[in-house]
Amino acid sequence: MTEIEDSEISLVRPSVVTIRTAKPRDLPELNEMIALLAAHHGDAAAATPEQLERDLFGPLPWIHALVAETGEGLIGYAILVPLYRAQEGKRGMDLHHLFVRDGHRGHGTGQLLVDRARETARNAGCGYLSVSAATGNVLAHRFYEQLDFTPRPVTGMRYMQSIA
């Protein structure tokens, strides 16, 4: 039997990832990742760090953000938005954004972010967590279904009106 010295073995390991609530110091990197996700979907990002600061840390916080951090910096994020089913009296959260940087995908970071999103929603008294993915985004569909999300049919049109 041939002996192999330790120096001959090289294993590629993902970095240690910490999932935590976003802090004000994260705003520039968080804003950068939001722009990367928008570009991935062919959209232009107009959000600014100042708007994120208002919506995450202002007098009336509107969203909740989780970040995935390694020694290299932030590698992913999730944004949660409150929902309500008035006819049922049920609180919920929408996993509005989920993003992991290129080079860090496939190591479980997205699943860790979803797990923490579930925990955050539960702790806020929510009975459900929802998420949506573009019709043709089959990889996202598979990912969410593997995490026990159930597809729901789209029922009707959604309308919008500017009030600014």
pLDDT at 97: 96
d(CA 74, CA 71): 8
In this prediction, residues 51-73 reach a mean pLDDT of 96
Question: 3-state DSSP: the chain helix, strand, coil percent, rounded to 5?
Answer: 30, 25, 45
pLDDT at 37: 94
> 110-158: per-residue pLDDT in tens?
999 999 999 999 999 999 999 999 888 899 999 999 999 999 888 888 8
Comparing 10-19, 26-35, 120-129, the range with the smallest average pLDDT is 10-19
